[in-house]
Amino acid sequence: MSDTPDPAQLCERARALAENGDPGGAARLFEQVLDLGDTPHRARAALGLAVVLDDAGDVAGARAADRAAIATGDPEYGPRAAYHLALTHERAGERDQAAPAWRTVVEFGNPAYLPPARLALARIADDAGDFAAAREHWEEAVATGDPEYGTLAAHDLAQRLLERGEPARAQRVLTAGLKLIEPGGAPYAYARLAVALGIACLDQAIGAFGAALADGPADPEVAPLATELLARTLPLRGRGEEAREAWRRGLADPAVAGQVRARLRRDFAADEEEPGDPAALWWEPVLEGAAADGTLPAVAGEAFGALDHMYALLAVRKAEDTDAPADRRALAEAVQVPGAYAWGPLLHESFAERLRLALGAPADADRDPAAPDPA
């Protein structure tokens, strides 16, 4: 009867000790297996030793054990050891040293470990500025069909493709990524890919609208619609200045300016009882310019701020119920409030003209209608 210990039993006992909180005892048993030489359980023991040493803080010893497991060429424990070795370098911020370990994982070809290895290699290459290599690894990660790492790879690659102005390719990658998961099974991952797909569609639409407005005579049937769609889509991608330029170009083209202006004013209120020329109202050009510049919310905020200030001035005076001169001063202060805004002089001019017409007086260019009544 042989006294040679059974390496399989030693590995099982070591695993039990590790699970029961005795990493030192587990390490000694794993080392016993390694001392037996080239047994079928050598790779398992080396990986087990690497894990317990790593947990104990002996990173150098853990890495040496990982390399011993890799050297066996074992199709199961070899890639697992390379994976563990790569993680020790990633954890230490040693990405240059992690890369060879990840490549070793790929070389083993074990499908269980390919997805994380491909994703890690893609990100390392991307950080190094090697898009071609990163793209290859991302595509391989997606091709594994892994619902976790494949979807992460699809999202990463799509982001880079969008940055490079390739929305159509980004759409294809994201569509492939969405097929890897069910909305109910991984709702957050699905939502990230779905939003990215929407962004890719927006970017592709922007490119198409811009192409329709390329240099050359404007098509009066297409250009106004393309201008509006382009100008209203660009802000969704944070490209407000380009949107303003799109409106400006359309309004400056005599062939389509009227239709472009009508589309710009689509949401403006219309006076059905007096449908005169909107440009005759002093605030219409202000609103039109703000709509083209994307500053309508700011102008609305200014108008409400001025109204609130004017109301406060008048309401306080009313509450105090003071003498008439004070009331006139309050009115003068309230009238002056809009002057602080860019559109204030237009309001003052409008008031002056209305007052002149009401009094039948000649135009007086020197009189400031916002000035306080001297009485």
| Predicted confidence (pLDDT) per residue in 189-235, tens digit | 999 999 999 999 999 999 999 999 987 777 888 999 999 999 999 99
The encoded tokens of residue 344 equal 């204030």
Give the range of the structural domain holding residue 331, as residue numbers without chain letter.
303-351
Is 67 part of any domain? Answer: yes
Beta strands per DSSP E along the chain: none
Is 270 part of any domain? Answer: no
Is 279 part of any domain? Answer: no
**What pLDDT digit, counting tens, does each position of 289-346 carry?**
999 999 999 999 999 898 888 877 776 665 565 566 666 777 778 878 888 888 888 8
Is 72 part of any domain? Answer: yes
Is 7 part of any domain? Answer: yes
Number of domains in the chain: 2
The CATH number for 59's domain is 1.25.40.10
Residue 327: its pLDDT value, please?
67
Asked which of 88, 110, 132 is the last residue of a domain, the reply is: 110
Is 127 part of any domain? Answer: no
Q: Residue type for 169, please?
A: R
Is 62 part of any domain? Answer: yes
Residue 260: its pLDDT value, please?
94
Asked which of 50, 85, 110 is the last residue of a domain, the reply is: 110
The encoded tokens of residue 143 equal 């091709």
Region class of 323: left (phi > 0), else alpha (psi between -120 and 50), else beta: beta
As a whole number of Å, the CA-based R_g of the chain is 36
Is 290 part of any domain? Answer: no
Query: For the chain, which ranges sit under pLDDT 70?
Result: 1-3, 269-279, 315-327, 363-375
Asked which of 91, 110, 129 is the last residue of a domain, the reply is: 110
